[in-house]
Chains A and B, each alone.
Chain A
Amino acid sequence: MAWLNNSILEDMGYFSDIYQGIKSLLTGMSITGKYFLNFRKGSITQQYPENRETLKMFERFRGEVIMPHDENNEHRCTGCQACEIACPNGSIEIIWDRQLDEESGKKKKMIDKHIYHLGMCTMCGLCIEACPTDAIKWGQNFENSVYDRKYLDRVLNKPGSKLMKGVEE
Chain B
Amino acid sequence: MEPIVVNNNFKSEEYFINMGPQHPATHGVLRLLLTIDGEIIKKVEPDLGYIHRSIEKMCERDSYQQIVHLTDRMDYLSSNINNEAVCLAVENALQLEVPERVKVVRTIIGELTRIASHTLWWGVTGMDVGAFTTFFYGFRDREMINDIFEETCGARLTMNYNIPGGLMFDIHPNFVKRTKEFVAHFKTKLPEYDALLTNNVIFQHRTKGVGVLTKEDAISFGASGPVGRASGYSCDVRVHHPYSALDKVKFKEAIRTEGDTFARYKVRIQEMWESLSIIEQLIDNIPEGDHKVATNAVIKLPKGEFYQRVETARGELGVYIISTGTKNAHRVKFRSPGFSNLSLLNHISVGSKIGDLVAIMATLDLVIPDIDR
Contact = CB atoms under 8 A, between A and B. Distances in A.
Given A88-B62, A126-B65, A126-B66, A28 B196 contact: yes
A30 B143 CA distance: 23
A47 B297 CA distance: 44
Contacts of B151: 58, 60
Given A61-B154, A88-B66, A124-B69, A31 B192 contact: yes
A60 B172 contact: yes
B150 to A, nearest CB: 5
B160 A124 contact: yes
Given A25-B200, A125-B160, A44 B143 contact: yes
Contact of A129 (B155, B168, B200): B168
B150 A28 contact: no
Contacts of A129: 163, 168
Nearest to B194: A27
A126 B161 CA distance: 10
Given A44-B140, A88-B62, A129-B168, A58 B195 contact: no
B343 interface: no
Contacts, number: 66
Given A21-B201, A44-B140, A60 B160 contact: no
A21 B150 CA distance: 42
B326 interface: no
B135 to A, nearest CB: 13
A27 B195 contact: yes
Interface residues of A, number: 25
Contact of B195 (A28, A123, A124, A138): A28
Interface string B104-135: 00000000000000000000000000000100
A24 B168 contact: no
A31 B195 contact: yes
A30 to B, nearest CB: 8
A141 interface: no
Contacts of B150: 57-58, 60-61
Give the most central of B152, B192, B197: most A CB within 10 Å: B192
Interface of B: 62, 65-66, 69-70, 133, 140, 143, 147, 150-155, 158, 160, 163, 168-169, 172, 192, 195-197, 199-202, 297
Interface of A: 20-21, 24-25, 27-28, 30-32, 44, 57-58, 60-62, 86, 88, 122-126, 129-130, 138
21 contacts: A27-B195, A28-B197, A28-B199, A32-B133, A44-B140, A44-B143, A58-B150, A58-B151, A58-B154, A60-B172, A86-B66, A88-B69, A88-B70, A122-B158, A124-B66, A124-B69, A125-B168, A126-B66, A126-B69, A129-B163, A138-B154
